[in-house]
Chain A
Amino acid sequence: DTEVTQTPKHLVMGMTNKKSLKCEQHMGHRAMYWYKQKAKKPPELMFVYSYEKLSINESVPSRFSPECPNSSLLNLHLHALQPEDSALYLCASSQDWGTPSTGELFFGEGSRLTVL
């Protein structure tokens, strides 16, 4: 099973709402990632978790709050977002992180977020 599952597939929220994106993998991977992708642009790294610890935060605004409850789950909590935060949010996982044995990045199908 090489699947990364993301929910919900689509999310519409107002600027005062609080919502969460969820990601799950059962490949035994120790690293999980959040990426943001705008239309016709490549994915941009937001956060990296390695062994359930936050390893990289790419200066992401605090209105995005990641959480890694266990090695299989990754959440992204959203609060007081702006319309420019509308994008496709992609979760990914890999065997390891920061080493030559990192291996392949496996991506989920993404959560399409629209902020009104």
Chain B
Amino acid sequence: KQEVTQIPAALSVPEGENLVLNCSFTDSAIYNLQWFRQDPGKGLTSLLLIQSSQREQTSGRLNASLDKSSGRSTLYIAASQPGDSATYLCAVLTNAGKSTFGDGTTLTVKP
């Protein structure tokens, strides 16, 4: 059974800082890994999708990497802003067609 862990559970940083969120998974037989952000009481917004054959994806200030063999992904956020404050979730899609989510990292960026 796939298990997904996100560390840290919560993170507070001053504005402008670069930061890294971590996601690890136990079964490397995945189709893809997706990073989301979720604002309180809202739905999930897709940030980046990395296919199993890819090593990284970039979008603006975000960069996600994937090391399938070691079961790890990182989400790098450059020059953080207060608007980046949210919960960040990673989800791993297995070949059973199910996405397993981590518990998320709650990020607070202080002005």
Contact = CB atoms under 8 A, between A and B. Distances in A.
B96 to A, nearest CB: 8
B101 A43 contact: yes
Q: What interface size band does chain B fall in?
A: 20 to 34
Interface string A74-116: 0000000000000010101000011110111111111010000
A45 interface: yes
Contacts of A6: 43
Interface residues of A, number: 27
Contact of A107 (B41, B43, B104): B43
A90 B43 contact: yes
Interface of B: 31-32, 34, 36, 41-46, 49, 51-52, 89, 91, 93, 95-99, 101-104
Closest 7 CB pairs between A and B? A42-B101, A98-B97, A107-B44, A109-B43, A107-B43, A104-B49, A110-B43
28 contacts: A4-B43, A6-B43, A42-B89, A42-B101, A48-B97, A56-B97, A90-B43, A90-B44, A92-B44, A97-B97, A98-B95, A98-B97, A99-B31, A100-B31, A100-B32, A102-B31, A102-B32, A102-B93, A104-B49, A105-B44, A105-B91, A105-B99, A107-B43, A107-B44, A107-B46, A109-B42, A110-B41, A110-B42
